[in-house]
Amino acid sequence: MRNKFGERVIETAIRFSGFAIIAFVILIFLFLLKDSLSLFRVYSFKRFILEQKWLPISEPPTFGIVPLITGSLLVTVGAIVICVPVGVATALYIAEIAPGYLKTILKSLIEVLASIPSVVLGFIGIIWLGPFVKNTFHLSTGMCGLTSVFLLAFMALPTIISISEDALVGVPRMYKEAAYGLGATHWQTLWRIVLPAASSGIMAAVMLGIGRVIGETMVVMMVTGNAPIMPKSILQPLRTLTATIAGEMGETVSGSDHYYALFAVGLILFIITFVLNFTAEVFLRKGRR
Amino acid sequence: MNRAKLRQNIAFTVLGLITLLVVVPILLVLYYVIRHGWNAITWEFLTAAPRNGMKEGGIYPAIVGTVLLITGTMAFSLPLGILSAIYLVEYARDTLFTRLIKLSVVNLSGIPSIVYGLFGFTLFVVFMRMGASILAGSLTLAIMSLPVIITATKEALEAVPMVYREISLSLGATRWQTVRSCVLPYAIPGILTGTVLSLSRAAGETAPILFTVAAFYLPRLPRSMFDQVMALPYHLYVISTQVPNVPEKFSFGTGLVLIALVCLMNLVSIILRAHFRKKKQW
């Protein structure tokens, strides 16, 4: 009898945990929404989305998210343009070309990269990459969009490589054998058969890579120069959504409009990543079929 | 040599070079941090509190803080993560509810760390009145590390052959008895690997702890779980951007200790995986 009771307790706990996972997502959304709505009661949503200036402490304050979104988009596009081709090429090399021992070494190195804390990379950006970018492009400061683009591309590589590699390895062997049977070389098979067959998995990798880059906080806060102005080029200092929250939260008064505006920025980030992850999941499902 | 073969050689060389382009910076970063950080690592650096505006002394409180945060994170995320994975694999049927859970896991894994920080701040620090504390920080990091633990546990459970469950159930065991004695023991290596991996990520995170626990400068050890603590990643951020004139080698040293800690945890997970794989019985 006691046994049965214990069993019921643990099974309830198991069911409860499943429920808790959903609850967390809903809680995160609701808490962000609750504080965002406090802003939109005094500051219209339309102005928040369309205003081109982010001046939270001037009188009266302006909370225009456009420069921040532009900043986030600029560095994200830059990073993705670099890391998608590089990441997919590396995944191809690891999955199809590298001999067994090299495969193990490369995969562990990618895991090491995945585990390097972002704050360490940010520090290296300040000490080494920033000055390097400054001298190479003859800029007035190395703390600009481009420096963070390089670092973000570097950080997104493990996500892109590992998911693309899974997709490439998951291509049915028959496809390849049929191509070889028709006299195709290894490379022709990879380029014409394996890569297209893995394309939905690779699209998922790209989506998750974008999510990784757009959500990264410490690196962009440390190396972009943090200027909340409308960026004209990637060579200028700029400010992203994430860095705005991280940089200004400590200075706001709890319950002020500025405080609520930061939650509204968080809500926007939450929605962007939700859409990205959902799309990635759809691509992954399509790939499995 | 015919053209197709030539083209293949060129393509493979290019792919190899690009891979090199990825690998070299990883090695450079490691080399750079180790070389410059090595000089900073002294007994005092590891065991003393920072002094004189963090320009002297060591990082002991930050090391202790990070270890406490990892422990707290594990205490919350491990049971919850494993139980919900058991639910998904062993109990759930393909219902809307199950699909919602799976979608939530996917979504949790994509939420930016700074948004976790915001959430932890409003829910734990403000709403539940925990204040900036080890408890609030651990809870925030725990929710953040759930998806990795769940995914790893799920994969480990799914890898256990169906026959094991069928035999156990056919002998009259209940579902929980089956899970406990015929499934979990074989899934433990996978679960441990995933857990350690997710904890090592949590150890290196800065954004979620910014407002929930991290102390700028607190040269004493915490007395309870309602105290703030210093943490290695935040400390590195502080001394490399917020405080002027901290010797560079202190930043490198802190970075080295942080990387060493994270890599040590990864190593443990690799060793665990290898150890259990040898004993695998199917």
Residue-range domain boundaries for chain B? 43-279
Give pLDDT, residue B193: 83
- Kindly state the DSSP code that residue B57 receives in the 8-state scheme: E
What residues contact A235, with CB distance under 8 A and at least 6 apart?
Answer: A137, A139, A144, A145, A146
DSSP H or E segment with residue A175: helix A173-181
Give pLDDT, residue B281: 56
Give pLDDT, residue B218: 86
User: Which residue type, as a one-letter code, is found at position A32?
Assistant: L
Give pLDDT, residue B228: 92
Task: Say if CB A91 and CB A190 are below 8 A apart.
Answer: no
Task: Say if CB A215 and CB B110 are below 8 A apart.
Answer: yes
DSSP H or E segment with residue A48: helix A45-50
Q: Does residue B1 have a pLDDT over 80? A: no
ipTM over 0.90: yes
**A128, B32: Cβ pair inside 8 Å?**
yes
Q: Three-state SS for B160?
A: coil
Minimal CA separation from B276 to chain A, in Å: 18
Interface with A, mutate which of B9, B15, B141, B176 (most A CBs under 10 A) = B15
Give pLDDT, residue A179: 93
Give pLDDT, residue A140: 86
Average pLDDT in chain B: 90
Output Rg (C-alpha) for chain A, integer angstroms: 23
Q: Three-state SS for A185?
A: coil
pLDDT above 70 covers a percentage of chain A that reads 99
Q: Record the pTM.
A: 0.93
Give pLDDT, residue A288: 73
Cα separation, B231 vs B209, in Å, equals 9
Interface with B, mutate which of A3, A11, A17, A118 (most B CBs under 10 A) = A17
Q: Is A115 left (phi over 0), alpha (psi -120 to 50) or beta?
A: alpha
Q: Is A32 on the interface with B (CB under 8 A)?
A: yes
Domains and CATH numbers, chain A: 54-288 (1.10.3720.10)
Task: Say if CB A277 and CB B110 are below 8 A apart.
Answer: yes
Give pLDDT, residue A197: 93
Domain B43-279 adopts which CATH fold? Answer: MetI-like fold (1.10.3720)
**B146, A266: Cβ pair inside 8 Å?**
no
Q: Three-state SS for B219?
A: coil
Nearest to B239 by CA among B211, B214, B213: B214
What count of other Cβ atoms lies within 10 Å of the Cβ of residue A20? 19
CB pairs under 8 A between A and B: 246
Cα separation, A238 vs A77, in Å, equals 14
Give pLDDT, residue A2: 55
Mean pLDDT of B248-259: 93
Q: Does residue B282 have a pLDDT over 70? A: no
**B84, A18: Cβ pair inside 8 Å?**
yes
Using an 8 Å CB-CB cutoff, list chain B residues near A126. Answer: 240-241
pLDDT above 90 covers a percentage of chain B that reads 66
Strands (DSSP E) contained in chain A are: 54-55, 62-63
Give chain A's residues under pLDDT 50.
1
Mean pLDDT of B136-160: 94
- Which tens digits make up the pLDDT trace of B21-77? 999 999 999 999 999 999 889 998 999 888 877 878 889 999 999 999 999 999 999
Using an 8 Å CB-CB cutoff, list chain A residues near B244. Answer: none
Cα B275 to Cα B189, B252, B265, B282, distances in angstroms: 9, 34, 15, 15
Cα separation, A60 vs B92, in Å, equals 54
